[in-house]
Every structure is written in structure tokens, then in C-alpha cells.
Amino acid sequence: MHREVGSGDAQTGRTAPQEVAQRTGSSHRGSRRRPAPPSAVARLGERWAPVARRLRPSYPRPGRTGWRRWVPSWRQSLGAALVSAGLGGALLTAAYAATDIPADLNTFATQQDNVYFWSDGTPMARTGWVRRQAMPLKDIPEDVRWTVLAAENASFYSDPGISVGGLTRAVWRTVGEGDTQGGSTITQQYVKNVYLSQDRSVGRKLTEAMIALKLDNRMSKDKILEGYLNTSWFGRGTYGIQRAAQAYYGKDVGELNVSEAAFLASLLKGAGLYDPSLSKANQARAEERWDWILDRMVDIGKLTKTERAKYTKFPQPLDQSQAYDTGRQSDYLVELASQYAKKAARISDQDFDMGGYQIYTTFDRKRETALTKAVTKARKKALKDSPDKAKAAHYGAASVAADGRILAVHGGPDHREQGFNESNATTVPAGSAFLPLVYAAGLEHGVYKERGTARTRVTPESLYNGNDGVPVTTPEGPYWDRSGKKVAARNEGGKSFGNITLRTALAQSVNTPFMQLGMDTGLDKVRETAEAIGLLPASMGPQTPALSLGNSTPSAIRMASSYATFASGGTHTEPYSVRKVTHNGSRVALNVPKPRRAVGAEVARQVTDALTDSFRSAHPTAAPATAEVAGKTGTTEDDKAAWYVGTNRKVSTAVVVYRMDLTKSLEPLPLKGIAGASGADVPYGIWSSAMSPLG
């Protein structure tokens, strides 16, 4: 039987309805499935679909040409801004909820002392001047508080603990310039002081802001201000305004006037930039900011114009020479060691003042004691014999090992009375103590007598004219000074020695051969050699013939270091006072100087031989024949300084005595017998006692 195509399944003969019914599982022929009603979500979607289609951005924008296709419409811009604001708010809310106020204060709020050790590892000093003393806010005068608020955060009592604009600027500067200065409220600064580290990062800044917001909600403004004033760094080793008042003005915070408080407030900007005792530039900055703070107090209504008019003179703080304030000789050692440690270990003043450092010095306790006793004895004798002259007498001394270690120094009578360190002062000329350096330059570089010729070698046996008044010559002829006079060399006491070997001339401290030797060698070579041996460029005198007779003004440390170069065979190591630094027991990287070749070993030996002759001829019975002792006196033409510099068993000591009335002038005065007679003078007496036993 024929069937029409499409009337059913050609193979089974089922009709379409039957097939549908069978597929749906219906037992009723011809039944149909009813569609499910739309859900509530679907109905809501259908209702808002037209709105969504209108809001959906068409981008690039249709109907526009060129670059205009890529410019968002106002709806798109507004939508993006709202979404960003919503996300930002959500993130800040989450960050605020996730941030807790730390339970423990950081090291900025738990200040420690720094401890110094002798070379044998025993304690030498503890810097108790790292000061913190909490003061209740009620004991800090209100006008003192407002100098700080005027300088740092005038809206403190009304703000929420953060400055949104300042925080944005700080984050921007951090990302763009690696700098987070500025932008912090006092609450934020307090959080940084006591809870966080001082690192400069966006993460730290945001954490600071979150903690500040919470702290502002949980702690009163007065308590926050009290904490801030007691934990902020003011320089000179001080944390807190009470200790700052004592360090800068020698009084308690309750005794400060508004002018003094305004200066202390300026230090919060950075004590290293505003402490006037550090530099002239600091003085200018401090005065400018002090003036601004007082004007700012008038602007915010905390100081009347009449009161402001009273403060026209900058309240100069005390000199910081009282930083250690113990009066012991060891203060000079602590000063040297702290300066070196900070430089060699790259520790900032602020970090160092936080404390917790152990500084292992190179100072030898026995040598320091011997040197101090020797100077003290000489000082007492001078005061007894010549009280009027001795009042202006100064004694500087230093012992330096051949490997550069500073073993002992004498810095002055009392650190509280005299803040500057005599052993490190470049005050008076070296005089004839400089002659060995000229001798070394001639032996090292040779000389030339005629322009354009090769240098010729000089030996200890080379002869020079030792007569007094001999003219100084150059390859072109006599040397003329600026006044048109021929320059002549002079010997002490006007003595003449005829032709004399360089070795003998050095042993007998004859000036004239070395003045000419300096010209023959070249004053540039003399200077170069002196600096290589250990003298600082800043202490070198004018490059005239007088350079060879010691117009340079090296310190006792540097003179001892230069003679130590000869004792070490011609290798020089820069003098250093710290061998190791640890922080709470962990070693801190320290740049310890390395030895370098200054002059040849043979040159060093020849200079030492001549210095040995000098010592033996002046003090024939002072040391055993086998002793390795060498040294010589140093005098100046105008009798304004007397030196003795010498070595014994690889240790070099330099002693200088001079007179200077610091109340009148910085110009050295004639010694007038204070230093004794040549060959038995005060510098040698100190030197021999400090270096004993000789041998």
C-alpha cells in the first residue's frame, strides 16, 4: 500500500503525533505539553532589558569618526567614576576592618643605649645621653603644645586622624618620586613613631592611615598629642620634648617660652637640617622656620600680634658639646668612635640615636691611661710653674698602630669644658716634624735641577747646603716671593752646617737642605707624597717653599698616622677607631680601611733610619740599643707650636703643645717656654711616658 512521503515514518509507519507522544512519554494520543510560566528573575530581566540596552556602552562609539569614536560619553565617564568610587570605598572599608592597632610598640618607642667597648672587649662607655622622659600633657604648657600644632597639624583637634589630601599627595610622591615626606597628621606621625617602621612605601602609608583612623576613634586627642610629644625625635640623641628642652636649652619643658618652643617645633621637620650647631646652612633654615612658626601661631589665633612682636631675636640653643655630659676623657673616645661607626657602617643619625648598637673600638685601655696621665702631669706642672701662660695651653696627642688602629687619644682637659677634640684638630703648623715627609718625597721621586732633564736619584748620602740663609733656587734660577725678594732658607737659631747629607740633616733637624730638596723634587710631588702617607688634603699648606718647612696643619692623629706609614714599611692604612659594630647582637657591615702602598719599602726604611738617628742623638740612653725607636721634634719659626712624633714597636705617637686664648682669638700664641727646651721639652716628655717602655 502506497504512503505519502512525510505522513509518517517510512519504516515504522508512525504518525508525527504518535511519535511526539511516544517521545514525551504520554499515553494519550494527541496530547500537547504546556510551556512553564516565566520565573520572577526572568520577568525582572525582561522588564529592565531595555534600560540595560540603553546603559550598555557602545564602544567605539557609533556615529562618530576619527578620534572622536574613542572619546567616552558623559554617561560612560560617570558610570566608570561611580564604579571606581564604589570599589575604592569597598576596598578601604575592608582594609579598615582588617587593620588592627598593634599590641606592641616598636623600637622607636623603646629607646636603648649604645655601648662602647675597649679593644680587649671590656665595656668602655654607655651613652646614657640617649634620652627619653615621658611628660604628662598637663605639664607641657599650652603655648608650647600649640607651637608644635601650628608647625605640624593646626587642624589636629578637628580632623579624623588623617588628611585625605595629604595622604593622596604622599602616595603620589611615593610612587612618582620615592618620597613620603609631608601629608601626615600628628596622629599619623604618632602611629609611625610607635607602631610602624620608618620605611617609605605605599603599603606602610596606607597601614599608617588605617591605624590612625582607628586610634582616633579609640583614644582622646589629648592622649594622642601627649604620646606624640613624648616619642618624636628632636636630634642630639633626644626623644620627647622634655629631653629636647634639656638638650637645647638646659631647662625643663615647663620653663620654655614660646620662642624657644617654636625652635624645638622646627626640629620635627628634620633635626639634621635644623640644628644650628651642625652648619651655617642649618642656622639659616632654623631661623626661617622659627619665624614662620611664630607667624603661623598668629594666623591660627594662638598668639596675638602684640605677643608675636616680643620675639624678634632667634633663641640660639646651647652648643651640642655637652652631648655626652660625663666629663671623662672617654667622652672624646666615644665622640670619635660614634662618628666613625656611623660613617663606616652607613648608619643615620636618627637610627644611631635609637640605640641598641654595640661599638667595639680600637682603643687600648692601658695606652689611653698612660697617655692621659702623661698629659695631666704636664698640664699640672705648667699651671704650677707658669699659671698665667699655662691657662691658654693646649695639649693634643694620639697613638696610632702601623695597621691604622687608633689606640689612644688625648682630646682635652674635660669634654664639658672643651667640646672640640685636640687630637683631631687641624689648628697649628707641623713645623720641622714635616721634614721626614719631604725626605720621603725626594727619595721616592728623585729630583731635577734643570728644566727638561730627567729626574735623578737622591740617596740618604746626597749632599745639600746646610748653611743658614742659603737662597732657594728653581731650575730657572732664584725663587722670588710676591714682594720681589729672593726667598732664603733659615735654620733654627741661625746655625750653619755647610754641606751635609740628607740623612744627617734630618737627624739634626737642619731646615735648609729640605727647603731646597722640596723645590728640586717639586712641591706638587711633596704634597702628593704627604697625602699618600696620611695627611688630609684640607690640612695641606700653600704650595710655596714654606710647604717643606711644615706650613701644613695636620692633626695629632694624622701626624701619628704618617709616621706609622714609615714603621709599616711604606704601606698606609687610614686611621680608624672602630673594628666591629653589632646591633642587638647581629653584626653590622663595616667598611674597615685596607692598607695601600704609599712609598717604597726601601724609602720607608731609609726614613726610619734617619729618624732613629734623630732619636738616638737627642736621647742616647732613653732606650736599649736593640730597641726599634725612632722620632723627632717639631718646632716652628714663630714658636707657636711644639711637636714630638715617633714610633716604638710598630706604634706611632704624636704630641703637640700650643697656646691659644679661645675667649679672644683662634690665632695661636707664642709658647714662651711652656713647651720646655729642645731635647727635653714637654712634648717629648709626654711622648716617652705614653710609649714606655721604650724597647
Share of the chain above pLDDT 70, in %: 78
Annotate 595-649 with three-state secondary structure.
Answer: CEECCCHHHHHHHHHHHHHHHHHHCCCCCCCCCCEEEEEEECCCCCCEEEEEEEC
Number of neighbours of residue 474 by Cβ within 10 angstroms:
14
pLDDT tens digits for range 635-654: 988 888 999 999 998 999 99
Distance of CA 29 to the CA centre of its chain: 101
| Cα 260 from Cα 514, distance rounded (Å) | 57
| Cα 223 from Cα 221, distance rounded (Å) | 5
| Cα 96 from Cα 213, distance rounded (Å) | 8
Going by their DSSP bridges, the two strands 571-572 and 596-597 should be labelled as antiparallel
Q: Do the beta carbons of residue 529 and residue 452 sit within 8 Å?
A: no
First to last CA, the chain: 143
What is the arithmetic mean of pLDDT over 357-367?
A: 95
| Cα 232 from Cα 584, distance rounded (Å) | 22
pLDDT tens digits for range 493-520: 889 999 999 999 999 999 999 999 999 9
Binning the chain into helix, strand and coil, the percentages to the nearest 5 are 45, 15, 40
| Angle, CA of 356, 330 and 670, to the nearest 5° | 140
- Return the SS3 of 422: helix
Please give the backbone phi and psi of residue 463, each rounded to the nearest 5 degrees, phi first. -95, 140
Task: Give burial (CB, 10 Å; 0-12/13-18/19+) of 499.
Answer: exposed
Which range of 35-44, 122-131, 348-357 scores highest in mean pLDDT? It is 348-357
Distances (CA, A) of 599 to 442, 529, 647: 11, 8, 17
Annotate 122-136 with three-state secondary structure.
Answer: CEEEECCCCEECCCC
Task: Give burial (CB, 10 Å; 0-12/13-18/19+) of 355.
Answer: buried
pLDDT for the residue numbered 6: 43
Which range of 100-114, 126-140, 408-422 scores highest in mean pLDDT? It is 408-422
pLDDT tens digits for range 164-189: 655 555 555 544 444 434 458 888 88
Average pLDDT for the chain: 83
The secondary structure of residue 100, as a DSSP letter, is -
Q: Do the beta carbons of residue 244 and residue 128 sit within 8 Å?
A: no
What is the arithmetic mean of pLDDT over 673-689?
A: 79
What is the arithmetic mean of pLDDT over 35-54?
A: 68
For residue 4, the one-letter residue type is: E
Number of neighbours of residue 694 by Cβ within 10 angstroms:
18
For residue 418, the one-letter residue type is: Q
Least confident of 61-70, 507-516, 686-695: 61-70
Going by their DSSP bridges, the two strands 406-410 and 596-597 should be labelled as unpaired
Distance of CA 258 to the CA centre of its chain: 31
Distances (CA, A) of 259 to 264, 582, 679: 9, 40, 57
pLDDT for the residue numbered 83: 64
pLDDT exceeds 90 at position 454: no
pLDDT for the residue numbered 609: 97
Domains of the chain and CATH, by start:
130-310 (1.10.3810.10), 431-520 (no CATH)
Distance of CA 580 to the CA centre of its chain: 17
- Specify the higher pLDDT residue, 148 or 63: 148
Task: Name the E strands within 340-420.
Answer: 357-361, 393-401, 406-410
Please give the backbone phi and psi of residue 396, each rounded to the nearest 5 degrees, phi first. -120, 140
**What predicted TM-score, i.e. pTM, was given to this entire model?**
0.66
| Cα 262 from Cα 141, distance rounded (Å) | 13
Residues in the chain: 695
pLDDT for the residue numbered 7: 43
| Cα 516 from Cα 522, distance rounded (Å) | 10
pLDDT for the residue numbered 440: 98
pLDDT tens digits for range 253-276: 999 999 999 999 999 998 989 999
Q: Which bin fits 469, alpha (ψ -120 to 50), beta or left (φ > 0)?
A: left
pLDDT tens digits for range 139-167: 999 999 999 999 999 999 988 777 665 55
C-alpha cell at 468: 743658614
Instruction: Place 22 in a pLDDT band, splitting at 50, 70 and 90.
Output: very low
Cβ-proximal residues to 86 (8 Å cutoff; 6+ apart), any chain:
none
| Cα 673 from Cα 650, distance rounded (Å) | 32
Instruction: Place 632 in a pLDDT band, splitting at 50, 70 and 90.
Output: very high
pLDDT for the residue numbered 106: 56
- Return the SS3 of 576: strand
Distances (CA, A) of 293 to 76, 146, 311, 594, 649: 48, 10, 12, 49, 60
pLDDT for the residue numbered 388: 85
Instruction: Place 11 in a pLDDT band, splitting at 50, 70 and 90.
Output: very low
In the numeric block, the cell 585625605 is attached to 164
Instruction: Place 453 in a pLDDT band, splitting at 50, 70 and 90.
Output: confident
pLDDT for the residue numbered 219: 84
pLDDT tens digits for range 553-609: 999 999 999 999 999 999 999 999 999 999 877 899 999 999 999 999 999 999 999
